[in-house]
Amino acid sequence: MVGFILANIIGVTIILLSIQFYRDIKPIFSNNDSFMSQNYIVATKKVSTLGSISNKSNLFTKSEIQELQNQEFCNHLGVFTPSLFKVYAGLSIESKGIRFGTDLFFESVPNEFIDVSLENWSFNSLDNNKIIPIILPRNYLNLYNFGFAESRNLPKLSEGMVGMVQLDVHLTGNGRKEVLKGNVIGFSNRINTILVPQQFMDWANETFSAEKQKNPSRIIIEVDQPANPAITEYFQSKGYEAESGALDDSKTTYFLKVLIGLVLFIGLLISLLSLYILLLSIFLLIQKSTDKIRNLQLLGYTSRQIALPYQLLMIITNSISFVISIVVMYCLRAYYIQEVRPLIPSLSSDFPTSIIILASTLLILVVVVNGILIKRQIIKTE
Q: Does 381 bind other proteins (CB under 8 A)?
A: no
Q: Does 308 bind other proteins (CB under 8 A)?
A: no
The least distance separating other proteins from the CB of residue 2, rounded to whole angstroms, comes to 24
Q: Does 301 bind other proteins (CB under 8 A)?
A: yes
Q: Are 137 and 193 in contact (CB under 8 A)?
A: yes
**Region near other proteins per CB under 8 A, out of 26-34, 46-54, 185-193, 289-297:** 289-297
Rg (CA), the chain: 32
* DSSP-derived pairing of the beta strands 131-137 and 176-188: parallel
Q: Give the Å distances, CA to CA, from 358 to 76, 265, 349, 352.
A: 34, 17, 18, 10
**Region near other proteins per CB under 8 A, out of 157-165, 265-273, 294-302, 315-323:** 294-302
> Which is nearest to 185 in space by CA: 157, 158, 159, 155?
159
Q: Does 296 bind other proteins (CB under 8 A)?
A: yes
Give residue 212's region: left, alpha or beta (phi > 0; psi -120 to 50). beta
Q: Does 297 bind other proteins (CB under 8 A)?
A: yes
Among 295, 349, 360, 361, binds other proteins (CB under 8 A): 295
Q: Are 124 and 41 in contact (CB under 8 A)?
A: no
Q: Nearer Cβ to other proteins, position 271 or 311?
A: 311
Among 156, 177, 292, 376, binds other proteins (CB under 8 A): 292
The least distance separating other proteins from the CB of residue 295, rounded to whole angstroms, comes to 5
x-or-dash string of contact with other proteins, 237-276, rule CB under 8 A: ----------------------------------------
Among 81, 108, 303, 325, binds other proteins (CB under 8 A): 303
Q: Does 290 bind other proteins (CB under 8 A)?
A: no
**Per rule CB under 8 A, count of chain residues that contact other proteins:** 12
Among 302, 349, 360, 361, binds other proteins (CB under 8 A): 302
Q: Does 382 bind other proteins (CB under 8 A)?
A: yes
Q: DSSP class of residue 124?
A: -
Q: Are 325 and 359 in contact (CB under 8 A)?
A: yes
The least distance separating other proteins from the CB of residue 380, rounded to whole angstroms, comes to 11
Q: Does 207 bind other proteins (CB under 8 A)?
A: no
Q: Does 166 bind other proteins (CB under 8 A)?
A: no
Helix (H, G, I), strand (E, B) or coil at 159: helix
Chain centre distance of CA 71: 22
The least distance separating other proteins from the CB of residue 299, rounded to whole angstroms, comes to 5
DSSP H/E element including 172? strand 166-173
Q: Does 34 bind other proteins (CB under 8 A)?
A: no
Helix axes 2-30, 353-380, angle to 10 degrees: 140
Q: Nearer Cβ to other proteins, position 185 or 374?
A: 374
Chain centre distance of CA 376: 46
Cβ burial, residue 114 (10 Å; 0-12/13-18/19+): buried
Side-chain half-sphere CA neighbours of 112 within 13 A: 10
In this structure, which amino acid lies at residue 69?
Answer: Q
Q: Does 368 bind other proteins (CB under 8 A)?
A: no
**Binding residues vs other proteins (CB under 8 A):** 292, 295-303, 379, 382
